[in-house]
């Protein structure tokens, strides 16, 4: 009971203490599960290193991008996401910028992204900390308009092309949360700044595809919490800190894709884009937009956004809400009671194997829940508790046996 109490105190008072170990363990569990099919809804056009070297991201690229976007929209794409930045932006309105803006306006379903300026003095905003589920609910009660519209993009944000912004169907921040090893795992479900509510680029894309008017965040009076965000009738489950955890499908090749060069030279077929969500983003080593994931140490950021879009439209984000945490507590209490009651009564050989058997059961059950329900049970606290209980109870039993032997000898 003492060990259980200590672990529960750690569990509730220091939830980030085991985060690095949990994330590493989650990566291993994804690899054990193996790749999954993300479906055919989300497509990617990669602006790879060859395209960047050929066109750069200036005038000639804008002309080719105008051609590709026009082709994609004409082919029947339901939403188009632009995941890149133009360097050295100029205030001069040349023909390439004007034509690109006109194409974006005519399409009517182009979503653009932005990054927060990392030079801001507000550290929480600069690092895109999530606002938490309770603050998310409070924000939606007090705000009239979610900050997904171009007019509400803060001036502190860095946008790909300011001229295009006013013609975008929606906007959202690019930010994906990565650890010190550039391993990406989560996105903030929402941010608040200057009395406005902001959502991720991926959710803006999903909402544009669904033509949904809001994100469906509302109060659940019975549970005294929040319901949502909700897209297409599917409720997402951000964790208690307001993060949505990515459920990876595999490497970048998991999504149907094509190269930007090929789209320019050969066009984009109707079969590729019709009814789909198409993301156009940079890739390759010179892009600087690479992250480590369980399946690939150099995953382009556009693949992470594609993953988040597919997660949002299939209810595929990892399930990590208060119910999951309750299940973890129940598991720890049950294991502590089982070991406390059984080890003193079992024969020595069975007592030795009880801990490893429970560890195996925990791994199997948690892996099945991850695979079939997307439920992420964190294992560090239960495993540490099992290890400590196993050692402590066996040591106590051995000490009791030694005392009994000494008593009999005397």
The pLDDT value given to residue 130: 62
* Domain end among 257, 291, 314: 314
Whether residue 326 sits in one domain with residue 211: no
Whether residue 193 sits in one domain with residue 294: yes
Whether residue 292 sits in one domain with residue 363: no
Question: What global pTM score does this model have?
Answer: 0.87
Range of the domain at 259: 35-314
Residue 24 covered by a domain? no
Whether residue 59 sits in one domain with residue 189: yes
Whether residue 392 sits in one domain with residue 294: no
Residue 128 covered by a domain? yes
Whether residue 326 sits in one domain with residue 223: no
CA 118 to each of CA 14, 62, 189: distance values in angstroms, whole numbers, following the listed order: 27, 27, 19
CA distance 349 to 354: 9
Candidates 303, 293, 319, 332; CA nearest to 377 is 319
What's the half-sphere exposure (Cβ side, CA atoms, 13 Å) at 402? Answer: 6
What's the half-sphere exposure (Cβ side, CA atoms, 13 Å) at 313? Answer: 24
Whether residue 238 sits in one domain with residue 202: yes
Question: Total structural domains in the chain?
Answer: 2
CA distance 243 to 310: 16
Whether residue 168 sits in one domain with residue 146: yes
Query: Checking phi first, is residue 109 left (phi over 0); if not, alpha (psi -120 to 50) or beta?
Result: alpha
Residue 50 covered by a domain? yes
Count of CB atoms within 10 A of residue 73's CB? 21
* Domain end among 296, 314, 332: 314
The pLDDT value given to residue 208: 93
CA distance 50 to 224: 53
Whether residue 219 sits in one domain with residue 174: yes
Residue 219 covered by a domain? yes
Residue 64 covered by a domain? yes
* Domain end among 314, 337, 372: 314
Residue 27 covered by a domain? no
The pLDDT value given to residue 282: 87
User: Would you mind telling me the total number of residues written for the chain in this entry?
Assistant: 410
Query: Which residues, given as ranges, of the chain have pLDDT below 50?
Result: 123-128
CA distance 164 to 98: 9
The pLDDT value given to residue 361: 92
Residue 22 covered by a domain? no
Candidates 272, 250, 223; CA nearest to 43 is 272
CA distance 190 to 170: 15
The pLDDT value given to residue 123: 46
CA distance 49 to 70: 23
Residue 43 CB contacts under 8 Å (≥ 6 apart), including other chains: 255, 256, 257, 258, 272, 273, 276, 277, 278, 279
Provide Rg for the chain, Cα atoms: 25
Whether residue 339 sits in one domain with residue 285: no
The pLDDT value given to residue 125: 46
Whether residue 228 sits in one domain with residue 352: no
Whether residue 144 sits in one domain with residue 59: yes
Three-state SS annotation for the chain: CHHHHHHHHHHHHCCCCCHHHHHHHHHHHHHHHCCCCCCCCEEEEEECHHHHHHHCCCHHHHHHHHHHHHHHHHCCCCEEEEECCCCCCCCCCCHHHHHHHHHHHHHCCEEEEEEECCCCCCHHHHCCCCCCHHHHHHHHHHCCCECCCHHHCCCCEEECCHHHHCCCCEEEECCCEECCCCEEEEEECCEEECCEEECEHHHHHHHHHHCCCCCCCEEECCCCEEECCEECCEECCCCCCCEEECCCCCCHHHCEEEEHHHHHHHCCCHHHHCCCEEEEEECCHHHCCEEEECCEEEEEHHHHHHHHHHHHHHCCCEECCHHHHHHHHHHHHHHHHHHHHHCCCCCHHHHHHHHHHHHHHHHHHHHHHHHHHCECCCCHHHHHHHHHHHHHHHHHHHHHHHHHHHHHHC
Residue 308 covered by a domain? yes
């Amino acid at each position: 009971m003492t060990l259980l109490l200590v672990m529960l105190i750690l569990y509730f008072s220091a939830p980030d203490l085991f985060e690095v170990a949990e994330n590493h363990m989650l990566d291993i569990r994804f690899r054990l599960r193996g790749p999954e099919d993300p479906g055919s809804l989300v497509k990617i056009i990669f602006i790879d290193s060859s395209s960047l070297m050929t066109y750069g991201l200036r005038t000639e690229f804008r002309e080719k991008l105008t051609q590709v976007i026009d082709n994609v929209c004409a082919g029947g794409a339901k939403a188009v996401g632009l995941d890149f930045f133009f360097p050295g932006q100029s205030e001069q309105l040349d023909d390439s910028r004007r034509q690109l803006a006109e194409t974006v306006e005519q399409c009517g379903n182009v979503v653009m992204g932005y990054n927060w300026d990392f030079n801001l003095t507000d550290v929480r905003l600069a690092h895109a900390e999530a606002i938490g589920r309770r603050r998310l609910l409070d924000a939606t009660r007090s705000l009239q308009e979610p900050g997904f519209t171009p007019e509400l993009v803060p001036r502190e944000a860095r946008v790909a092309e300011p001229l295009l912004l006013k013609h975008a169907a929606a906007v959202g921040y690019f930010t994906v949360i990565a650890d010190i090893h550039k391993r990406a795992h989560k996105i903030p479900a929402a941010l608040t700044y200057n009395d406005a509510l902001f959502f991720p680029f991926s959710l803006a894309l999903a909402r544009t595809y669904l033509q949904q008017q809001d994100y469906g965040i509302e109060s659940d009076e019975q549970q005294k919490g929040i319901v949502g965000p909700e897209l297409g009738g599917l409720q997402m489950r951000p964790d208690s800190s307001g993060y949505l955890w990515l459920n990876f499908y595999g490497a970048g090749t998991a999504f149907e894709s094509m190269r930007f060069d090929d789209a320019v030279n050969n066009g984009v077929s109707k079969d590729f884009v019709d009814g789909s969500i198409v993301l156009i983003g940079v890739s390759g080593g010179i892009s600087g937009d690479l992250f480590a994931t369980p399946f690939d140490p150099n995953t382009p950021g556009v693949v992470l956004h594609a993953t988040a879009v597919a997660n949002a439209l299939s209810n595929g984000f990892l399930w990590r809400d208060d119910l999951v945490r309750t299940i973890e507590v129940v598991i720890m209490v049950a294991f502590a009671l089982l070991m406390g009651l059984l080890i003193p009564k079992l024969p020595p050989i069975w007592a030795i194997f009880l801990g490893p058997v429970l560890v195996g059961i925990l791994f199997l059950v948690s892996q099945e829940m991850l695979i079939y329900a997307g439920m992420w049970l964190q294992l560090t606290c239960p495993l540490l508790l099992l290890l400590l209980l196993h050692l402590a109870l066996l040591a106590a039993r051995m000490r009791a046996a030694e005392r009994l032997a000494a008593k009999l000898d005397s």
